[in-house]
């Protein structure tokens, strides 16, 4: 994944792939084939300079983002082939695929958000007295 900035921030990842094909001849005219593939990838969502050192409405640093994703893919394709004559072939095939995507949010932001939700002033509906100013150093 290409980072949104010229310098890559928080953009590690990896990929594993397994592929195999099994062939079995039942007779001179019939054969079975089985294609199998499993792929797993894990990667971090790249950060931008905009989401580094973010402050909450009270001026507390909520920490840098740490968002990750994992994708797992499983493919299975059995095929039966029959030679009908020297000029004709019959092939019957099926295909099964399963994709699983997992997204892992930034745990630092969640802890800060939970702390903000538990504050009595936010539960009653009143806002904090200090306003959020993104240009303020603290």
pLDDT at 72: 94
In a domain, 7, yes or no: no
Kindly give the pairing relationship between strand 13-25 and strand 96-104: unpaired
- In tens digits, the chain (138 residues) has pLDDT values of 555 666 666 677 888 999 999 999 999 999 999 999 999 998 887 666 666 677 777 877 766 667 788 999 999 999 999 999 989 999 999 999 999 998 887 665 445 555 555 554 444 444 444 444 555 554
Residue 101 lies in a domain: yes
pLDDT at 58: 80
- CA dist., res. 40 & res. 73, Å (int): 6
pLDDT of 68? 82
Q: Tell me whether residue 61 is in a domain.
A: yes
- On whether residue 131 sits in a domain, the answer given is no
Tokens of 59: 């001026």
In the chain, the number of structural domains is 1
Helix (H, G, I), strand (E, B) or coil at 79: strand
Spatial separation of the C-alpha atoms in residues 62 and 105, rounded to whole Å: 14
| Residue 115 confidence (pLDDT) | 54
pLDDT of residue 3: 56
44 is a domain residue: yes
- What per-residue confidence (pLDDT) applies to 57? 79
Which residues does 50 contact at the CB level (< 8 Å), separation at least 6? Answer: none
Residue 133 lies in a domain: no
Distances (CA, A) of 88 to 32, 81, 112: 17, 11, 68
Residue 70 lies in a domain: yes
Indicate whether 135 belongs to any domain.
no
Distance CA 29, CA 62 (A): 67
Q: Would you state the pLDDT for residue 56?
A: 73
What's the full length of the chain, in residues?
138
Q: How does DSSP classify residue 109?
A: H
Q: Which domain holds residue 108?
A: 13-123
pLDDT score, position 122: 45
Q: What is the pLDDT of residue 123?
A: 46
């Amino acid at each position: 994944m290409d980072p949104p900035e010229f310098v890559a921030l928080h953009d590690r990842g990896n990929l594993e792939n397994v592929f195999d094909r099994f062939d079995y001849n039942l007779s001179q005219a019939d054969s079975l084939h089985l294609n199998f593939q499993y792929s797993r990838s894990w990667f971090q969502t790249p950060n931008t300079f905009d989401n580094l050192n973010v402050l909450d409405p009270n001026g507390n640093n909520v920490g840098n983002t740490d968002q990750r994703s994992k994708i797992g893919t499983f493919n299975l394709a059995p095929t039966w082939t029959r030679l009908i004559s020297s000029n004709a072939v019959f092939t019957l095939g099926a295909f099964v695929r399963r994709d699983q995507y997992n997204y892992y949010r930034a745990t630092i932001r969640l802890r800060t958000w939970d702390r903000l939700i538990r504050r009595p002033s936010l539960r009653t509906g009143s806002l904090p007295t200090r306003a959020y100013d993104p240009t303020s150093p603290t």
